[in-house]
Amino acid sequence: MISYNSENTFKLDNEHQISSWIEEVITEENFKLGEINYIFCNDDYLHKLNVEFLQHDTLTDIISFDYTVGKLIQGDIYVSTERVADNAQDFQVSFQEELLRVMVHGVLHYCGYKDKTDAEAHTMREKENHYLQKFANMQ
């Protein structure tokens, strides 16, 4: 089950389509969907979590808490819609594309992908692009 919650005024459009897409990602990665909670928030909210739980005094677009057990994907994914909007502008992509990239990024972490090294980040970006293309093909 995938749920969407907001700590700000953000409202996700096309929840059903995005949920179906995320489920396909999980299936293609040979995992099973347990429970994923997306929580949309502002920079201040996410910054507090980043400091409190990760001891990082920086802004970020996403923090994911992974509760995956074996092949059962579970977790809480916090997304700063302010950071997504800024990053979309910086990368010259639509808000929707950047939001989807961040959303799948969290799930890919749950599937075991890392992004600390250049090689890992490259693989992560390839996976994100692959799944963004799949979403585009669903339209």
- Provide the whole-model pTM: 0.93
The string of DSSP letters for 9-51 reads S---S-HHHHHHHHHHHHHHTT-EEEEEEEEEE-HHHHHHHHH
Please indicate if the annotation marks 105 as binding a ligand.
Answer: yes
pLDDT in tens, the chain (139 residues): 999 999 999 999 999 999 999 999 999 999 999 999 999 999 999 999 989 888 888 888 999 999 999 999 999 999 999 999 999 999 999 999 999 999 999 999 999 999 999 999 999 999 999 999 999 998 7
pLDDT of residue 138: 86
Domains of the chain: 2-138 (3.40.390.30)
Please indicate if the annotation marks 16 as binding a ligand.
Answer: no
Q: Is the separation of the CB atoms in 31 and 110 below 8 Å?
A: yes
